[in-house]
């Protein structure tokens, strides 16, 4: 899409959000391919820190005050998301976090406590902008689609970085099929809960994020059971 078309279609704030994340993608590429003796884990941790420090700072400097509550909720939820990853890797043995030069939280690489912030911010921001531009009814399909694209794309590509990968489950390419719907539900639930508490005190974001995490963990376990234990067993 030509730059002039983007400029005409997106509001000024939306363009700034787009450019921030495009520049962050460039930074990611530079850090990940830099010819230095540094394993993937510390590189990813550095990027996670830069994002979680850079986005709220950029929001303050550009006077996008509405970004801060979105980022804060996404960051809190990201910390809680260590629990489902730990359950999937330690209990179900369907997810592996290889040794990557970084400390572990149980079986989960430490950077994961902040990494979920990035896709969750993008999902929540997309939903809110669609709601603002069109309606809540238009926002939910957009949130579902963006969740599928981001999480599905991550499953398909991030194994290249030796960050994590799925095992012992039915896969299409490098994507574990059982986790796709729970990841879409994660995006929808996060958007729903954020809308419900966005005007409440910041501390409310903690129990709300915990509820969203539990929904994701439960749906991941449920769809793992149905797809891997019921459907695949029935199919021989």
Q: Per residue in 21-42, pLDDT tens?
A: 999 999 999 999 998 888 999 9
pTM, rounded to two decimals: 0.93
Mean pLDDT of 75-97: 97
Mean pLDDT of 133-142: 94
Partners of 175 in the β-ladder: 172
Nearest to 178 by CA among 86, 114, 92, 74: 92
Mean per-residue pLDDT of the chain: 92
Is residue 176 over pLDDT 70? yes
Q: pLDDT tens-digit profile of 140-171?
A: 999 999 999 999 998 888 777 778 899 999 99
pLDDT of residue 5: 54
pLDDT of residue 70: 97
Is residue 232 over pLDDT 80? no
Q: Give the rounded distance of the alpha carbon of 59 from its chain centre.
A: 19
Question: Which whole-number Å values give the CA distances from 125 to 147, 150, 191, 220, in the listed order?
Answer: 12, 13, 9, 24
């Amino acid at each position: 899409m030509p730059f002039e078309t983007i400029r005409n279609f997106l509001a000024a704030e939306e363009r700034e959000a787009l450019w921030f994340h495009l520049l962050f993608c460039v930074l990611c590429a530079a850090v990940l391919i830099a010819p230095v003796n540094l394993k993937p884990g510390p590189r990813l941790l550095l990027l996670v820190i830069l994002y979680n420090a850079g986005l709220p700072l950029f929001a303050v400097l550009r006077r996008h005050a509405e970004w801060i509550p979105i980022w804060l909720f996404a960051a809190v939820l990201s910390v809680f998301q260590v629990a489902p990853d730990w359950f999937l890797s330690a209990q179900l043995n369907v997810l592996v976090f290889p040794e990557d030069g970084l400390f572990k939280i149980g079986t989960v690489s430490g950077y994961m406590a902040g990494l979920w912030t990035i896709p969750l911010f993008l999902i929540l921001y997309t939903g809110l902008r669609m709601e603002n531009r069109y309606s809540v009814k238009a926002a939910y399909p957009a949130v579902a689609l963006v969740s599928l694209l981001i999480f599905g794309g991550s499953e398909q590509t991030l194994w290249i970085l030796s960050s994590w990968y799925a095992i012992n489950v039915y896969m299409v390419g490098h994507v574990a099929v059982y986790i796709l719907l729970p990841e879409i539900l994660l995006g929808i639930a996060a958007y729903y809960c954020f809308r419900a508490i966005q005007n409440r005190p910041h501390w409310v974001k903690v129990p709300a994020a915990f509820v969203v995490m539990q929904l994701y963990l439960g749906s991941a376990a449920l769809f793992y059971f149905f797809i891997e234990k019921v459907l695949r067993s029935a199919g021989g």
